[in-house]
């Protein structure tokens, strides 16, 4: 359903843009309507084709959101190595944060900027 909605949205935007450009260029109304229809079909088919190929190559999962949620729920029930939280912070990170807090913030001013002479 998502691919069809995507194709419809792209087709409508293309038809609107083509129609507006045609009307601003003083083209006849019949030609504008024919171009709008052709643009609607071409943009819709092209976007549907791209979405279909992306989903077939498994680079995107447009219509499979429910399936992924079901699979992740099964993984959590089994106690498998599914999606776990981030690793805990190590103690080695703490001193670096303390050093950064000790320096404080110093805004730029004319005195603390290094000036470089042009060659």
Query: What are the pLDDT digits (tens) for 5-46?
Result: 999 999 999 999 999 999 999 889 999 999 999 999 999 999
pLDDT tens by residue, 50-85: 999 988 888 877 766 655 566 666 666 665 555 555
The mean pLDDT of the chain is 79
- Residue holding tokens 């690793």? 87
CA distance 109 to 94: 31
Q: Which residue has the higher pLDDT, 98 or 48?
A: 48
Q: Are 14 and 42 in contact (CB under 8 A)?
A: yes
């Amino acid at each position: 359903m998502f691919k069809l909605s995507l194709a419809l949205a792209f087709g409508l935007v293309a038809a609107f843009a083509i129609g507006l450009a045609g009307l601003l260029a003083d083209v006849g109304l019949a030609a504008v309507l024919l171009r709008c229809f052709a643009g609607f079909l071409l943009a819709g088919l092209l976007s549907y084709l791209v979405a279909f190929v992306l989903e077939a190559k498994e680079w995107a999962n447009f219509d499979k959101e429910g399936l992924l949620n079901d699979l992740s729920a099964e993984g959590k029930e089994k106690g498998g190595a599914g999606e776990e939280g981030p690793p805990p912070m190590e103690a080695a990170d703490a001193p670096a944060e303390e050093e950064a807090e000790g320096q404080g913030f110093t805004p730029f001013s004319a005195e603390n900027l290094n000036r470089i002479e042009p060659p």
